[in-house]
Structure 1
Amino acid sequence: MIDFTRRKKELNNLKDEKKLIIYENDNEEINGNYKPIKSYEIGPLTPRQTNQKAYKIRVDAASFQKNLPLPDHPCNGDEDLYPNKIGNFSKVMPHNELGEVNKGGYSIWIRALTTGNPEMFEDIPLGGVRKFANPQGAYAFDLEGPNSHHLTMPVAPTFSSAWEASEMGEDYWRALTRDIPFADYDTNTLISEAASDMSQFSDYRGPKEDGEVTPGTIFRGNLEGDLIGPYISQFLCLDVPYGSKTLVQHYRTALPGKDYMTSYDEWLNIQNGGVPSELPEYDPQPRYIRDGRDLSEWVHGDFTYQSMLNACLILLGFGKKAMCSENPYICSKTQNGFVTFGSAYVLDLIGKSARIALESAWFQKFLVHRRLRPEAFGGCVQNNLTGATSYPINSEILNCMAVSKVFERYGTYLLPMAYPEGSPTHPSYPAGHAAIAGAGVTMMKAFFNEDYIIPHPLVASADGLSVLPYTGTPLTVLGELNKLASNLSLGRDTAGVHWRSDGIEGLKIGEAVAIGIIHDFMKTYNENFKGFCLTKFDGTTIII
């Protein structure tokens, strides 16, 4: 038996150059001595040279990030404009009967965010049992890619603007049409009414045809590929090759016609952080994602980068023909990629970029914008239209047809929510799902062929129990990745927990994170590699 105490003492007594000795057989002792053999290391660099190279790459990457111009972090000014903080996030803190946050409690929250003192966060008053979602994550930063505080965003729409009114109008219409199958949009009367009403908003920034919102554009994204083919991306529809099994993408869905937080008492309870009075109700039959309610539930129960993981596994399942042409192993006669430029590598980068993107989103959410959630704005609409308040809400939303239809159905003007608990307990701008999607989709654009045509595309049936062949315009990897990003970010709007601009700008934050990470890794490869080429969300092509 080996005497490990003696072995450790022997090794500690060796000179540095002799510590590269290994033992041929740890269980064999010859004449009281171990039989050593020399360990040789081959390669173009010695361990010391590799160490120095890695050090230089890290220093260069850090210097590059440090020397980038420092951006401004503008906000829309609502927090200073309204003493009652109606334009800002305050969920889970105590509120009065109008849903206005307790000013003292809000001041404590702001002081905690300003100082970053961990102990001060424990002094923030809560109105119920729910807690803030990781506000101290706003101070986190990573050592790969851009510093979370080094990315910026445009200001969010202001509380009183026509832009905000249009985004709220869209959320009301999404709530009213959650149970209409995407396959029926072209023929459904309520969808036609929604498109016509949305066309009346003076500052609506969703996609249009000839200046009008149509059944073919309503609720879709503005990215390349968003208006082509089925509403739902192929990456939320096709089977997923998951190791030794195949995952069929039919999921638990919520029962149709069931919305939440439509009574004022329940709305106020949720704003105070109370326990919902109702539990969610689910359809016992799994279904493919076929309508807004299904999509809302998918982005309710998914884990952080689930959709990105599934999409990447689908793309890897297409084989080499779906890889980008820049991949150094595409034409190799003797090698395949794995640790670099292969499945292990791209899957790791997708998970890595998702978390780093969330850091950047959390900084913006808590330390810059603190934008209110649509459900809170719905309470302001309710109070104005019942005469309890006269908040400076743009008249375009107060006169919106969807608001009247909500009142006819529920007896209040509150935004009907897809989840009993409403939104998460962190500010709205930007959307976390969008930031994750922006990062993951950008990583996949870098590693896969954007022009590759998706083979055997499918579309969910109107009842969601099956999928049917899609035979329309060919669907590309670029278009369907963009559509996946839009589905995930705007699907949260359909649930009532986000605004359209949350998703649009969240995608851009995630994209910037992914590009920064790729840039930092570029000098770590041994392969002959000229760089990544990808198409950004704004349609421009870049080479990294």
Structure 2
Amino acid sequence: MLNKFIESEVSKIIQNNKMEKNQICENNISKEEKSNENLKLSKSCETGPLTPHQNSEKAYKIRKDAASFQKDLPMPGHPCNTDEGLYSKKIANYSKALPHNKLGEVKIRAYNIWIKALTTGNPEMFEDLPLGGVRKFANPQASYAFDLEGPNSHQLTMPAPPNFNSAWMASEMAEDYWRALTRDIPFAEYDTDLLIHEAVYDMSNFSDYHGPKHGGVVTTGTLFRGNTAGDLVGPYISQFLCKDVPFGTKIFKQQYRTALAAKDYMTSYDEWLNIQNGGVSSSSDVFDPKPRYIRNGRDLGEWVHRDFTYQSVLNTCLILLSFGDKALCSENPYLYSKTQVGFITFGSAYILDLVAKSARIALEAAWFQKFLVHRRLRPEEFGGRIHNNLIGVTNYPINSELLNCKAISKVFNKYGTYLLPMAYPEGCPTHTSYPAGHACIVGAGVTMMKAFFNEDFIIPNPVVASADGLSLYSYSNRPLTIGGELNKLASNISLGRDTAGVHWRSDGTEGLKIGEAVAIGILHDFKKTYNEDFKGFCLKKFNGTTVTI
């Protein structure tokens, strides 16, 4: 009887709870119906030529058309130099961070596991990579990333890098040796320095050197410079790495911490091998106690060691914006407006956003090429091949022009090995060489700025750093233009990594073109998103041709 009574009471409680829940639901439905009724009765307040539905349809069409345009572009091939298949010991390919033997040759089983992970794209396989030390690979899975603006990274192509045994490769490595030997010589003293003159003579003897020349030979005015027209005009360092940067309420002087002179790394074989295996350097950076303007290769190499991704182009954009409307390109629809100025579109907020946006998307394109196409070895790795050849323990097919150049013997006389003296204790990053990430970033950012600023505008009050980097002097020779100094900035940032020993010239020159293509693709996607009476973007590419978007 007691159990039946309890069951009856529990049943009543359950029934009461159900009734309360139903009442709550009815009340909520009633409130929702009233709310919807109020929305129907309230008047819509938006203005403009399109209704919300029309606006949504137009936005969809613009996005769909942009995606279709990128999709329908011809799919390029991705040529490589075929060295990976030619050399069974993988001596011509990047392998840093994997385990190596005493000759610095990667252990083939480990290399094959790495290639299988890259081929499958399986995230779990990347977690099983056989590292040789404590350093990890730098984001290889970014090579598969997709983006929603601009070209898909797989739709951009670049030429194959020089072959391991070529005269072209020999010239690029010799240039890196000379950059290392001359890091502490001020750019202002290139015309008179004897070591620079030796470098000029030596580099002129290479049969397939792709750097700039004057009268068919390398000169003190062309040595270590880029190949654009702006590179050979005026001081070595771009105005955008010298002039004050207006940073909000603060004026930022471009004096930077730099590394101490005559301090190079990885010149002992044991240290070099340890670093190739992903070990931690036994050395650490030694810094100059005085901040300086960039005045030599070591300063520039340290700048591109510590910068954040788009620092160079951000600073440059802030400088350009400080020049005012007179520095804007003639295509800007607000340049001659009587009642409006640009801001969210065609103004500072917009330009700064596109410069930053293009930098990251350019890196995606770089990572695809680095990991899934080329896997080019770094100069420090090649230095080990040269060293082992010249001490007689290997017989790699290294071009004789390199083995017989003056730079090689000078390095041995100074350090006792043939290894490439590095500016950074850790050497290169743990991602492959071609193309250079810095080059892709600056190539994209510079191209964006060319689209918004007048490339023929003459930069006011140009300057040049003193030989000690402690002050700036007025420069009063040939006029320096925005376009020329943007090109020079691009070369400074990309080839500055060569000065540190972590990249090749072609990594930089071809990386700039990848970044440029990314920026042009993004601008194409955005060209139909404006309400303004806008005719399109016009800019001059790194190769000197003009393109209209």
TM-score by length of 1: 0.95
Q: How many residues align?
A: 525
Candidates 47, 67, 84, aligned match of 2:72: 67
Q: Measure how far apart 1:161 and its partner are.
A: 0.4
- Check conservation: 1:446, 1:532, Cα contact below 8 A: yes
CA 1:240–1:7: 2 relative to 1, 3 Å: farther
Partner of 1:24: none
Q: Comparing both structures, which one devotes a greater share of its residues to helix?
A: 2
- Structure 2 distance, partners of 1:170, 1:95, is 27
Partner of 2:157: 152
Partner of 2:432: 427
Does residue 1:456 correspond to 2:461, yes or no? Answer: yes
Deviations 1:345-387 (A, max 9, x none): 0100011100000000000000000000000000000000000
Q: Measure how far apart 1:284 and its partner are.
A: 1.0
The 4+ residue runs of structure 1 with deviation greater than 2 A are 5-21
Report the residue type matching 1:13 in the other structure: E
Partner of 1:28: none
The aligned runs of 1:191-340 (5 Å cut-off) are 191-340=196-345
- Structure 2 distance, partners of 1:129, 1:381, is 26
Q: Measure how far apart 1:38 and its partner are.
A: 3.8
Report the residue type matching 2:195 in the other structure: L
Deviations 1:385-417 (A, max 9, x none): 000100000001101101100000000000000
Q: Measure how far apart 1:13 and its partner are.
A: 2.8
- Structure 2 distance, partners of 1:151, 1:346, is 24
- Structure 2 distance, partners of 1:55, 1:19, is 26
Does residue 1:13 correspond to 2:18, yes or no? Answer: no
- Structure 2 distance, partners of 1:233, 1:63, is 39
CA 1:16–1:125: 2 relative to 1, 3 Å: same
Report the residue type matching 1:504 in the other structure: T
What secondary structure sits across from 1:459 in the alignment?
A: strand
Q: Measure how far apart 1:19 and its partner are.
A: 3.5
- Structure 2 distance, partners of 1:378, 1:8, is 75
Partner of 1:27: none
Does residue 1:391 correspond to 2:396, yes or no? Answer: yes
Identity within the alignment, %: 74
Q: Measure how far apart 1:163 and its partner are.
A: 0.3
Candidates 505, 508, 512, aligned match of 2:510: 505
Alpha carbon RMSD of aligned pairs, Å? 1.5
Q: Measure how far apart 1:104 and its partner are.
A: 0.2
Unaligned runs of 5+ in 2: 1-24
The aligned runs of 1:395-414 (5 Å cut-off) are 395-414=400-419
CA 1:526–1:292: 2 relative to 1, 3 Å: same
Structure number with greater Rg is: 2
- Check conservation: 1:20, 1:39, Cα contact below 8 A: no
Deviations 1:243-296 (A, max 9, x none): 111110000000000000000000000000000010000011000000000000
- Structure 2 distance, partners of 1:488, 1:156, is 20
Candidates 160, 166, 191, aligned match of 1:161: 166
What secondary structure sits across from 1:222 in the alignment?
A: coil
Q: Measure how far apart 1:141 and its partner are.
A: 1.7
- Structure 2 distance, partners of 1:465, 1:328, is 42
Partner of 1:374: 379
TM-score by length of 2: 0.94
Deviations 1:433-455 (A, max 9, x none): 00000000000000000000000
CA 1:196–1:8: 2 relative to 1, 3 Å: farther
Partner of 1:45: 50
CA 1:223–1:7: 2 relative to 1, 3 Å: farther
Partner of 2:14: none
Q: Measure how far apart 1:12 and its partner are.
A: 3.7
Partner of 2:13: none
Q: Measure how far apart 1:143 and its partner are.
A: 1.2
Does residue 1:360 correspond to 2:380, yes or no? Answer: no
- Structure 2 distance, partners of 1:15, 1:65, is 44
Deviations 1:125-153 (A, max 9, x none): 01100000000000002111100111001
The aligned runs of 1:412-491 (5 Å cut-off) are 412-491=417-496
CA 1:38–1:408: 2 relative to 1, 3 Å: same
- Structure 2 distance, partners of 1:513, 1:16, is 47
Report the residue type matching 1:193 in the other structure: E
Q: Measure how far apart 1:9 and its partner are.
A: 6.7
The aligned runs of 1:15-34 (5 Å cut-off) are 18-19=38-39
Does residue 1:101 correspond to 2:106, yes or no? Answer: yes
- Structure 1 distance, partners of 2:184, 2:31, is 71
Partner of 1:188: 193
- Structure 1 distance, partners of 2:529, 2:79, is 36
